[in-house]
Structure 1
Amino acid sequence: MSSIPSTITPDAAQFIKDRVRTIDGWPQPGVQFRDITPILQDRRALRTLIDLFVQRYIDAKLDTIAGLDARGFIIGPILAYELSLGFVPIRKKGKLPYKTLSQSYELEYASATVEIHEDAVKPGERVVIVDDLIATGGTMMAGTQLLKRLGAVVVEGAAIIDLPDLGGSRLLRDRGLPLYTVCEFRGH
Structure 2
Amino acid sequence: MNAKYVNAAPLYRQEQEFERYGLHISRQNMANWTIQCADRCLAVLYDYLHEKLYSYHVLQADETPVLVNKDGRPAGSKSYMWVYRTGRMHTERQIVLYEYQKTRNASHPREFLKDFNGVCVTDGYQVYHTIEGEREDLRVAGCWSHARRRLISHGFVKTSQKCRRKARRGKVSIIP
Q: TM over 0.5: same fold?
A: no
| Larger fraction in helix | 2
What TM-score results when the alignment is normalised by the length of structure 2?
Answer: 0.31
What TM-score results when the alignment is normalised by the length of structure 1?
Answer: 0.29
Q: Which has the higher contact order (CA 8 A, sep 6+)?
A: 1
Which has the higher Rg, Structure 1 or Structure 2? 2
| Larger fraction in strand | 1
